[in-house]
Every structure is written in structure tokens, then in C-alpha cells.
């Protein structure tokens, strides 16, 4: 039994490892630092009035927190990655697909319509 089980587990690990490694690059908190729309970039002064933080966890867990002034709202959901496509499903909402590019500590998300791009920076753990 061990002779069959061990090779089977090794094969599973070999094929599962690349997918987990890709997901692991996103693990942690990412804060919105720049938004670009068809009219151009959103002024930094406007972005500084609140914050948007995406927290990617293992097994596709996602938490999005929006803060404006003293108010804060959190939404939980899930994400999946397929190639350069990130699909986000927040509770009670339709799936949203976007293209993502990850370069160092910067994550760029572009909507499926290619009109809006969000740029997030990885936050250092506290």
C-alpha cells in the first residue's frame, strides 16, 4: 500500500505546487494607491479621503475593506486565478473578472472593459 500511496502523493504535490506558488504571491494586504479612468488618473487628494484594502488569503479567501472618514465596511468573498485573469466573487455579487499584473510589491488590476485600472501596493505585515 505504501508503495502506491507515496508515488501518488508525490505526483499530486508536483502538480499542485505551481498553482499554490502563484496564489501565494498575492497573500497579504494590498492598499489602493492609484486609480486610472478614461478621464485620467484620480487625484491623490481624493484617494487620501479614504482607503481600500484587499486582503488575499490562502484557499482563495478575499476580504475587501473600504474606509471613508470614520466609517469602515468589509466584504468577504473568494478569488480564483487563471493565467493573468483574476476572478473575484464578493458575497451576494456577480463574479468580476479582471486582468492582473504583479511586479514586485505592485499589483495592477484592469477591469474586463479595460476602462479602469487599480494599482495596489503590498503592505508590510504589522
**CATH number, domain containing residue 77:** 2.40.128.280
Q: What is the pLDDT of residues 41-54, one digit of tens each?
A: 999 888 889 999 99
Whole-model pTM above 0.75? Answer: yes
pLDDT band per the 50, 70, 90 thresholds, residue 126: confident
The total number of structural domains in the chain stands at: 1
Per the structure block, which three cell numbers stand in for 79? 478569488
Structural domain span for residue 54: 2-122
Amino acid at each position: 500500500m505504501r508503495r502506491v500511496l507515496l508515488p501518488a502523493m508525490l505526483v499530486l504535490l508536483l502538480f499542485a505546487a505551481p498553482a499554490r506558488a502563484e496564489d501565494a504571491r498575492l497573500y497579504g494586504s494590498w492598499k489602493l494607491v492609484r486609480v486610472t479612468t478614461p478621464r485620467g488618473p484620480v487625484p491623490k487628494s481624493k484617494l487620501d479621503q479614504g482607503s481600500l484594502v484587499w486582503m488575499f488569503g490562502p484557499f482563495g479567501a478575499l476580504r475587501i475593506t473600504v474606509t471613508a472618514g470614520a466609517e469602515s465596511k468589509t466584504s468577504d468573498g473568494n478569488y480564483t486565478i487563471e493565467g493573468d485573469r483574476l476572478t473575484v466573487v464578493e458575497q451576494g455579487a456577480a463574479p468580476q473578472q479582471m486582468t492582473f499584473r504583479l511586479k514586485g510589491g505592485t499589483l495592477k488590476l484592469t477591469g474586463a472593459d479595460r476602462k479602469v485600472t487599480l494599482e495596489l501596493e503590498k503592505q508590510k505585515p504589522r
